[in-house]
Structure 1
């Protein structure tokens, strides 16, 4: 069965599934002439995209809106997240940025944070590594690269925001997160355009292409156009978010 046939079959079974908010973080190392991005190889036995190279990410959790942070998200980042439909609140925008940091720490052991003012509160659950390192999550260095909504008919649908941050923002590393039985079995820093990135999901490749274009222009800026990938009439559309 071809890809269109698969999509039609899935649509027959899951025509009304509403996408859930999700966030992905692309960490970039620009120490060399060609930027490198961090990808993780998924376990061969997981249901979603087994054996594929992915960027860390996942759905927004309830704790993401309540956890204290070292610094607020920039107003310009908040403005980008508030663009488009359905309309979200400023608190939801914050949750999306914070979710990207949590997912990266959970899946890769790399935590973006810094010491807050005064004694840091004790964080629990997935945020415990920050407490152990005396840190608070820090979303102030994140940039929004793209937004993408999974097409109708899929058993899992996400309204995903793709963020990027510089590798220099990594403040803590948790040992033992990557191993043979983990969700991600390997982490690799790879140059943009290299072979592992050719095996990415097509939508993720679209986002990576947008990031490459942004990086080629110099330092990242919040006032650059943010693409919005979505499906209409059975075809993928690329718009500018908020246009």
Structure 2
């Protein structure tokens, strides 16, 4: 059986949250967002190996959170880079096992569930990659300067995380040169020549970016534990 790793990328600064506190450290139902995210992976498996990628300036904050909330699970901390690409690569450098599977996940997606995590590993084991995605609910239009036109939304998907890969594949992919169009791990793997397999994500697996997202996440979380 392949070893399972999770790289949690948490480098946000909270600019759009209108808060001086980085969004991954903001409280959601009395726990920091980041703790909800990490706990979700340990809920999936106690044997999972978690790598947390943080800006150097946030590492002491993380240590304080662990003490305050009595979090004692083993987490490997990696120092983030100037970009998400560099941060993920730093996280991958902590994995020495070439035969494992690694799920790369946004630290500010705290409502990820064990079923989605498990599906990502199972699919990646067979297809080399497994990227969570959901269908669009709204109509979609393409803009071109002064004109717009309707497009078929069934041809598009909204991409989420986790984005899960065989370790050796994604490590090789992250050896390519960084360019601005590499906005997530799937785009890196694709540019390195690999086919991307999508699987059904969850509309509840929201990425906390704005104050409205915190309200929605709080409501969803309370619903899930009621």
Give the helix-richer structure, 1 or 2.
2
Above 0.5 in TM-score? no
Higher relative contact order (CA 8 A, sep 6+): 1
Compute the TM-score of the two structures, normalised by the length of structure 1: 0.27
Compute the TM-score of the two structures, normalised by the length of structure 2: 0.29
